[in-house]
Amino acid sequence: MKLQQILSLTRKAVDDYHMIGAGDKIAVGISGGKDSLTLLYALQGLRRFYPMPFELVAVTVDLGFGNLNLSGIEKLCRELDVEYHIVKTDIGKIVFEDRQESNPCSLCAKMRKGALNDAMKATGCNKVAYAHHKDDVVETMMMSLIYEGRFHTFRPVTYLDRTQITVIRPLIYMNEADVIGFVHKYNVPVVKSPCPADGHTKRETVKNLVQQINLEAPGVKERMFTAILNGNLDGWEKFEERNRYGGKKPYLS
């Protein structure tokens, strides 16, 4: 996928859900994976022509496994003229050695978000952009159905009242296959996750399930996404629709 197509899908999501306002300072959480780096390219490209001026800061939370080479990402941020911060932590040691968590992902995610939020506040950011794409939206919905018995997924925009930070997800209209194509086409410097639990999670199980269903019934993933758009889920009303039907609705966590 070409950068122009990435920008078009990102712009549509940003406009549909009013993700960015004038003067926003947005942190992009950079894990080093394909999704977060694609998001960085997308928002940096959007920043050049978007009618509402905003700032970008890239932040990586280093979990402390000791084998994370971020030199390629540092070079990329210099080329894109994006301020880059690396937050050193001992999260990996705490989760896998000290606590020896049987379900490490939950605690790790919570601690990573805490470290990211602290870095955001230190740099004056009021919003954080997560790189969840369309596949993530559908897989989260399926996880909720299978493990919680409810029809639910994360929102495009969420205001976290406890931290006074707004989470935005500008890649929700983008397929994971599009992200992979973009990364290969532009030789994006992806860094493999050093986490020992990578690829061995409930999400990975559900991801494989959705892929298998989509093979047997082509187009089912798109229909699932359409069901989410049309399912009256809280926070999934587009900006114009919220104003048409009763005014803007706050997205509280």
> For position 181, which CATH number holds?
3.40.50.620
Place of tokens 């040691």: 93
Q: How confident is the model at residue 64 (pLDDT cuts 50, 70, 90)?
A: confident
Is the pLDDT at 212 greater than 90? The verdict is yes
pLDDT, tens digit, for every residue of 195-206? Answer: 777 656 788 899
pLDDT of residue 200: 64
Query: Hey, which residues does 158 pair with through a beta bridge?
Result: 167
Q: Is residue 250 part of a domain?
A: no
Contact between 211 and 50 (Cβ < 8 Å): no
pLDDT of residue 101: 75
Q: Is residue 116 part of a domain?
A: yes
pTM: 0.89
Q: Is residue 98 part of a domain?
A: yes
pLDDT of residue 220: 95
Q: Is residue 127 part of a domain?
A: yes
Q: How many domains does the chain have?
A: 1
Q: Is residue 253 part of a domain?
A: no
pLDDT of residue 108: 85
Residue 246: Cβ within 10 Å count: 9
Residue 225, domain extent: 3-244
pLDDT, tens digit, for every residue of 107-162? Answer: 888 899 899 989 998 999 999 999 999 999 999 999 999 999 999 999 999 998 88
Separation between Cα atoms, residue 102 and residue 116, nearest integer Å: 24
Lowest-confidence range among 49-58, 86-95, 162-171?
86-95
Q: How confident is the model at residue 190 (pLDDT cuts 50, 70, 90)?
A: very high
Separation between Cα atoms, residue 138 and residue 29, nearest integer Å: 21
* pLDDT greater at residue 165 or residue 253: 165
Mean pLDDT, the chain, whole residue set: 90
Separation between Cα atoms, residue 231 and residue 208, nearest integer Å: 24
Q: Is residue 251 part of a domain?
A: no
Separation between Cα atoms, residue 25 and residue 200, nearest integer Å: 35
Is the pLDDT at 87 greater than 70? The verdict is yes
pLDDT, tens digit, for every residue of 88-113? Answer: 998 888 888 888 777 787 888 889 98
Is the pLDDT at 70 greater than 70? The verdict is yes
Amino acid identity for residue 232 in this structure: N
Q: Is residue 113 part of a domain?
A: yes
Q: Is residue 249 part of a domain?
A: no
